[in-house]
């Protein structure tokens, strides 16, 4: 399941709903992304997450389907926020449930790495020196890239 929304989410309530009634689930792995000070001491006040409505939902759905193809998952959820967010605010929730922990850990890491480089979101940070679009990081591409090898291995 995927959701794109402006409002905050309650991670505990989301996980509870995700696993409710499914006793084949042995473990749930969650990732919660938070707004952190990106500005290296330049006075970070807030940021605005822009996205491409329509394509965002499509890409998140594709990424979730790919995780379900590679690992035996009982349930999965991606909630991604957009709009203006302050330091400490929650941005994204990824929750993955499976019978065994290894699939859940791996699928959760895969989902986070892939959504960073494939979901159409862009961060505009507000600092003392004005508003700046955050540049993509080569390390994020590298993190997503490693799944083209290990993800395939895991699916064997």
Partner 1 sequence: MKILYFAWLKTKAGIAAEEVTPPESVTDVASLIAWLKTRSAGHAAALADLSVVRIAVNQEFARPGDPVRPGDEVALFPPMTGG
Which residues are near partner 1 by CB under 8 A? 33, 49-52, 54-55, 58, 80, 91-92, 112, 115-124, 133-137, 141
For partner 1, the closer CB: 19 or 105 = 105
Helix (H, G, I), strand (E, B), or coil: what is residue 84? strand
Inter-residue contact 94 to 75 (CB < 8 Å)? no
CB of 16 to partner 1, least distance (A): 23
Nearer to partner 1, 25 or 49 (CB): 49
DSSP secondary-structure letter at 132?
E
In sequence order, what are the residues at sequence separation of 6 or more whose Cβ sits closer than 8 angstroms to the Cβ of residue 95? Answer: 11, 14, 15, 18, 28, 29, 30, 31, 75, 76, 77, 108
Residue closer to partner 1, measured from CB, 35 or 103: 35
8 Å CB contact between 89 and 100: no
> CB-wise, 25 or 109, nearer to partner 1?
109
Q: How far is the CB of 28 from partner 1 (least distance, A)?
A: 19
In the complex, minimum distance from the CB of residue 75 to partner 1, in angstroms, rounded to a whole number? 21
The C-alpha R_g of the chain, in whole angstroms, comes to 16
Find the shortest distance in angstroms from Cβ 98 to partner 1: 22
């Amino acid at each position: 399941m995927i959701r794109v929304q402006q409002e905050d989410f309650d991670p505990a309530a989301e996980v509870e709903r995700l696993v409710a009634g499914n006793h084949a689930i042995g473990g749930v792995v969650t990732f919660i992304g938070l707004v952190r000070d990106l500005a290296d001491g330049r006075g970070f006040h807030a940021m605005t997450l822009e996205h491409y409505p329509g394509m965002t939902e499509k890409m998140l759905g594709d990424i979730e389907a790919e995780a379900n193809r590679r690992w035996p998952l009982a349930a999965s959820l991606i909630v991604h926020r957009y709009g203006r967010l302050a330091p400490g605010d929650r941005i994204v929730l990824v929750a993955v449930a499976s019978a065994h922990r290894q699939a859940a850990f791996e699928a959760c890491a895969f989902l986070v790495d892939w959504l960073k480089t494939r979901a159409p979101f862009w961060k505009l940070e507000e600092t003392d020196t004005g508003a700046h679009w955050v540049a993509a990081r080569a390390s994020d591409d590298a993190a997503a890239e490693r799944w083209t090898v290990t993800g395939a291995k895991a699916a064997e």
